[in-house]
């Protein structure tokens, strides 16, 4: 071997050895889990135990950070702009990733399909339509007839413009052409308070916060948004069952999923997918999921992307028909 070749070989060997020696299996340091909503809500209550379980399985801490604001777009953008090394992941929802692009339009600083790695779906959930018990309706058809007979009288609340419970109501308006006025609130809690007080007629909300009020007789549940009845309130019919044909097909799927920035190496994505699914299927996590009235819904990264693209298109139609937007 020529002297020059020997030197080149030695340098290459040293570099390769140095890389091998310094390379560490993933993960070799703590992970950051971003919840793009304020602390204390269902997204936070779901994320923290799942992050703790993931930490057990990965052998590294998973630090949860709440970055709320602008309908989850601020925290979601922080995920999208992070280094694609698998050390920053976070929660995605139907609202943050399928609805926000249509509500915020060009003001949204990221593309929810292109700028994220979709690691796995986690759970699905439904909204339930609840009315003030003094409103003289017990079915969705009766609510529609009541709205048409009393124009300007029927109102519905939500957690704010563009929230999933806002668009659940807008979808009902679009499909039935019933005159109903949307009243946005800063969160679902204040909206539910006003339904119970009779200040607004109805709202759609998640089961975990609605069921206690239904059981106490403070509100009346008349339909769920899922294709089938929910096992958590089996006595409550679905929208399609209630005579609102096409509600489910139009866009009633609601979910939480786990995402990271685009470009995470495939082996890291695969490991995160496997460990997250293992964490979600653990008996104690399954129990937590049930207590929050969620249904387990795990997937491959590719399946998650397909669901997101489909829901992006469905909710886009609803947003356009409703004329909903953030000014």
Q: What is the pLDDT of residues 184-225, one digit of tens each?
A: 988 888 999 999 999 999 999 999 989 999 999 999 999 999
CA 322 from chain centre, in angstroms, equals 21
33 and 44 in contact (C-beta within 8 Å)?
no
- Eight-class DSSP state of 83: -
What the block records as the tokens of 69 is 């604001």
Q: Which of 18-27, 38-47, 101-110, 198-207 has the lowest mean pLDDT?
A: 18-27
59 and 26 in contact (C-beta within 8 Å)?
no
Q: CA–CA distance from 143 to each of 26, 52, 131, 164, 191 (Å)?
A: 55, 44, 9, 20, 18
The whole-angstrom separation of Cα 89 and Cα 146 is: 46
Residue with tokens 């920053």: 88
Pairing of strands 127-131, 88-93: unpaired
Q: What is the pLDDT of residues 258-316, one digit of tens each?
A: 999 999 999 999 999 999 999 999 999 999 999 999 999 999 999 999 999 999 999 99
158 and 170 in contact (C-beta within 8 Å)?
no
**What is the value of pTM for the model shown?**
0.85
CA 239 from chain centre, in angstroms, equals 21
The whole-angstrom separation of Cα 88 and Cα 30 is: 9
Query: What are the structural domains, with CATH classification, of the chain?
Result: 31-124+253-322 (3.40.190.150), 127-251 (3.40.190.10)
């Amino acid at each position: 071997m020529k002297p020059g070749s020997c030197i080149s070989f030695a340098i290459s060997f040293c570099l390769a050895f140095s890389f091998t020696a310094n390379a560490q299996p993933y993960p070799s340091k703590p992970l950051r889990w971003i919840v793009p909503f304020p602390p204390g809500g269902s997204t936070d209550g779901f994320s923290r135990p799942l992050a703790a379980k993931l930490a057990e399985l990965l052998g590294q801490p998973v630090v949860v950070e709440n970055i709320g604001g602008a309908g989850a777009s601020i925290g979601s953008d922080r995920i999208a702009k992070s280094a694609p090394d698998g050390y920053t992941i976070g929660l995605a929802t139907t609202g943050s990733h399928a609805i926000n692009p249509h509500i915020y339009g060009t003001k949204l600083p990221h593309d929810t399909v292109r700028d994220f790695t979709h690691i796995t779906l986690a759970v699905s959930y439904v909204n339930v339509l609840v009315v003030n018990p003094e409103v003289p309706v017990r079915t969705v058809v009766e609510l529609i007839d009541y709205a048409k007979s009393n124009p300007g009288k029927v109102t519905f609340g939500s957690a704010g413009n563009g929230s999933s419970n806002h668009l659940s109501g807008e979808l009902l308006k679009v499909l039935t052409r019933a005159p109903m006025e949307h009243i946005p609130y800063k969160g679902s809690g204040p909206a539910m308070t006003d339904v119970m007080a009779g200040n607004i007629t109805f709202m759609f909300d998640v089961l975990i916060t609605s069921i206690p009020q239904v059981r106490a007789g403070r509100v009346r549940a008349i339909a769920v948004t899922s294709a089938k009845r929910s096992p958590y309130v089996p006595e409550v019919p679905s929208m399609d069952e209630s005579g609102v044909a096409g509600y489910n097909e139009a866009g009633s799927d609601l979910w939480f999923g786990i995402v990271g920035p685009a470009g995470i190496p495939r082996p890291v994505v695969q490991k995160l997918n496997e460990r997250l699914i293992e964490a979600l299927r653990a008996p104690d996590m399954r129990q937590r999921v049930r207590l929050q009235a969620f249904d387990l819904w795990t997937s491959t990264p590719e399946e998650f992307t397909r669901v997101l693209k489909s829901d992006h298109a469905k909710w886009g139609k609803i947003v356009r028909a409703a004329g909903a937007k953030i000014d």
